[in-house]
Structure 1
């Protein structure tokens, strides 16, 4: 029998024998509990007037010296007012949560895209995200835990293409930034975002605007607009009609190509574009000029065809239909550029209020304060603007 047991009172020895526990740690409180063929180290202590037993592993997997060291550490916690068992449980839970929070960058990217793609304007946007990340980010940092990603990881992705493919590199950087922000919000990482431009990468990389100045979409010069409109009007086909309507309304290509007859009120001279086809995700009312109304009334209408400018398959025109027409006639611009021509016309040839002009283009008001005080859409003022614009672009028509 161990010497320590001989030094105990008869009552203590009796209790330990009944429990199969033998004291081997002296004042530390370490015991070896023997049950059948198993031998387990146990630290026995009193905390908040309650007797507690803390397992420290089995013998011989845990040696006597290791068990004594563990018991001393547990006793030090108890003496400082911390329950050793509760402390171990807390540390294990923290480790479990930390392990659960680990997620690799490619998994975080997939999760981010799945959560957000339903809010993006078109399916191509999600595919563009996947393609650029697959090409540039995943080979370099795809297997790295987001909690470990730092500025050097980000630079490993974008530095090789920062000067040669600046626009693409900027988009990849922004997408990495958003994914890491998502990871932080979901508890997968902490600390500043190493992909952030302001206050972070702007001090490491050259300014992308200086490397690759913004290229604005090509637009027909203001003075050439009437001639360009006449050229388009002389062309035959649905693309010509749609492009003329686009010019007359200063609308975006997707808004015109997806236009349905149910959106048009010919009597009220009004076209209401639903929110799901608007960039700002808000319904937009477009006052129709006499030229726009005449064009709509001249269109052939087929039963069961909802689109105003249907393709040969009776669906909407393709996104390249209008661009192809402009290229064929060597107009040196793109459909979206007519919105810039409209803005130049309004600024250089009229004195209409800037806000009314911006609303003609369905642009949002610059500040939240302005938006809060301006709840209307200035439809009557915009009707005057759009009629003057149509008169300039297509030539005036006699009043009805």
Structure 2
């Protein structure tokens, strides 16, 4: 049996340039520059192999002996320790590149593009709920269309919109993996979509109230409560529920309400013209204000979207608060001559391609002011003539 542990720590530290045998195939190569390298010599199928075990500055004599013992055992099994180490490194790399890890990295990289840095969690939730539980531990390079199809097929027809979002997000994750230099199948999501076929689920729009019925509903909101006042301002401004519920006193400046970019779906600051009636509602709501919020909750924070929805449910109405945006837009189309660009801008929708938008830098605030005043008159049941907001005006 070959002699082991021939060297001492002092010999290793004071060794001059040259090669020193510790026994059992473990060697130290001390260089002229003072550095050193451990290596192991083994015989595999009659062929000598030399395997580096690390530099002297990073691997002690004790650690070098432990490594040598580990790889000698591999050699005794008839395996090439160098190839075995490479295989293990590849496996470790794959473990670091599982789909779940890359998905979280892709999410972090996109946060700046998402509303409020994605804190609401809506961007990631389709992946977290419907993809990662089944595919999260698979190396992203091994994910194929059949894996994706199997993961999404249970919800493809029952939760079509969620499944579509999950597939879209997964495509972004796959592209992120490719950008990292990983060998991913860039067409996997498209091929999975072909395997899944067309979703049988029909997209449902949020129920809205016919614009002709809005005045009667508006008049019924006569309690002066936070919920009634919030619904009134929601109707008058045609904004989404989130920016309205989080409206703060210092955001309203006279006849204009400036909604910060982080509360807009577009991620851009938006100016809302306030009609006379809208300003009256804000004045009525000010006594309820707490911590700067115009529509605070009874307990903490602000009122929820469900609070307004439940009011409409109790009245056995099919329409929901978000549907008043549709009521307003239909009124614009059927009862006014409002140009499409202005009507869409009133809803904070962008109309036109990138080139057109880069040149059209107006938000039509003054024209929208006229429009929203006319809408307020309709909402209050006051007769108003068909308004005209031609492009040239």
Output the TM-score relative to the length of structure 2. Answer: 0.71
- Pick from 195, 200, 207: which aligns with 1:204? 195
- Pick from 26, 30, 44: which aligns with 1:62? 44
Once the two structures are TM-superposed, the CA of residue 212 in structure 1 deviates from its matched residue by 1.1
In the other structure, the counterpart of 1:351 is: 337
- In 1: Cα distance, 2:342 partner to 2:97 partner: 49
Residues 237 and 278 in structure 2, CA contact (< 8 A), matched pair in contact too: yes
1:264 is aligned to 2:246: no
- In 1: Cα distance, 2:262 partner to 2:180 partner: 29
Once the two structures are TM-superposed, the CA of residue 319 in structure 1 deviates from its matched residue by 2.4
- Pick from 175, 180, 183: which aligns with 1:189? 183
- Pick from 262, 282, 286: which aligns with 2:268? 282
1:321 and 1:127, CA in 2 relative to 1: closer, same or farther beyond 3 A? same
In the other structure, the counterpart of 1:12 is: none
Q: CA RMSD in A?
A: 3.5
In the other structure, the counterpart of 2:292 is: 306
Residues 276 and 373 in structure 2, CA contact (< 8 A), matched pair in contact too: yes
Once the two structures are TM-superposed, the CA of residue 379 in structure 1 deviates from its matched residue by 1.1
In the other structure, the counterpart of 2:154 is: 160
Residues 226 and 288 in structure 2, CA contact (< 8 A), matched pair in contact too: no
Once the two structures are TM-superposed, the CA of residue 374 in structure 1 deviates from its matched residue by 1.1
1:159 and 1:129, CA in 2 relative to 1: closer, same or farther beyond 3 A? same
Residues 273 and 283 in structure 1, CA contact (< 8 A), matched pair in contact too: yes
SS in 1 for 2:196: coil
- Pick from 258, 280, 284: which aligns with 1:294? 280
SS in 1 for 2:271: strand
1:237 is aligned to 2:237: no
1:125 and 1:100, CA in 2 relative to 1: closer, same or farther beyond 3 A? same
Residues 211 and 331 in structure 2, CA contact (< 8 A), matched pair in contact too: yes
In the other structure, the counterpart of 1:226 is: 215
Once the two structures are TM-superposed, the CA of residue 113 in structure 1 deviates from its matched residue by 3.3
In the other structure, the counterpart of 2:114 is: 120
1:140 and 1:277, CA in 2 relative to 1: closer, same or farther beyond 3 A? closer
Residues 290 and 397 in structure 1, CA contact (< 8 A), matched pair in contact too: no
Residues 261 and 307 in structure 1, CA contact (< 8 A), matched pair in contact too: yes
- In 1: Cα distance, 2:383 partner to 2:252 partner: 21
- In 1: Cα distance, 2:226 partner to 2:91 partner: 60
1:334 and 1:183, CA in 2 relative to 1: closer, same or farther beyond 3 A? same
- In 1: Cα distance, 2:354 partner to 2:383 partner: 39
**Is the radius of gyration larger for structure 1 or structure 2?**
1
- In 1: Cα distance, 2:282 partner to 2:105 partner: 45
Once the two structures are TM-superposed, the CA of residue 332 in structure 1 deviates from its matched residue by 1.5
1:362 is aligned to 2:348: yes
1:252 is aligned to 2:240: yes
Once the two structures are TM-superposed, the CA of residue 111 in structure 1 deviates from its matched residue by 2.9
SS in 2 for 1:382: helix
Residues 249 and 386 in structure 1, CA contact (< 8 A), matched pair in contact too: yes
- In 2: Cα distance, 1:333 partner to 1:303 partner: 28
SS in 2 for 1:285: strand
- In 2: Cα distance, 1:383 partner to 1:181 partner: 44
Once the two structures are TM-superposed, the CA of residue 175 in structure 1 deviates from its matched residue by 2.7
Residues 207 and 320 in structure 2, CA contact (< 8 A), matched pair in contact too: yes
- After superposition, the C-alpha distances for 1:40-78 in whole angstroms (9 at most, x for unaligned) are 9xxxxxxxxxxxxxxx9846x2344x469xxxxxxxxxx
Once the two structures are TM-superposed, the CA of residue 297 in structure 1 deviates from its matched residue by 2.5
Residues 290 and 387 in structure 1, CA contact (< 8 A), matched pair in contact too: yes
- In 1: Cα distance, 2:188 partner to 2:329 partner: 39
In the other structure, the counterpart of 1:110 is: 104
Residues 291 and 397 in structure 1, CA contact (< 8 A), matched pair in contact too: no
Once the two structures are TM-superposed, the CA of residue 300 in structure 1 deviates from its matched residue by 4.1
Once the two structures are TM-superposed, the CA of residue 147 in structure 1 deviates from its matched residue by 0.7
Output the TM-score relative to the length of structure 1. Answer: 0.70
- After superposition, the C-alpha distances for 1:334-372 in whole angstroms (9 at most, x for unaligned) are 111000011100011110111111111111233112211
Residues 100 and 137 in structure 2, CA contact (< 8 A), matched pair in contact too: yes
- In 2: Cα distance, 1:110 partner to 1:93 partner: 27
In the other structure, the counterpart of 1:29 is: none
Q: Which moved more, 1:213-222 or 1:116-125?
A: 116-125
Which ranges in structure 1 are unaligned for 5 or more consecutive residues? 1-32, 41-55, 69-88
SS in 1 for 2:294: coil
Once the two structures are TM-superposed, the CA of residue 389 in structure 1 deviates from its matched residue by 0.7
- In 1: Cα distance, 2:226 partner to 2:22 partner: 91
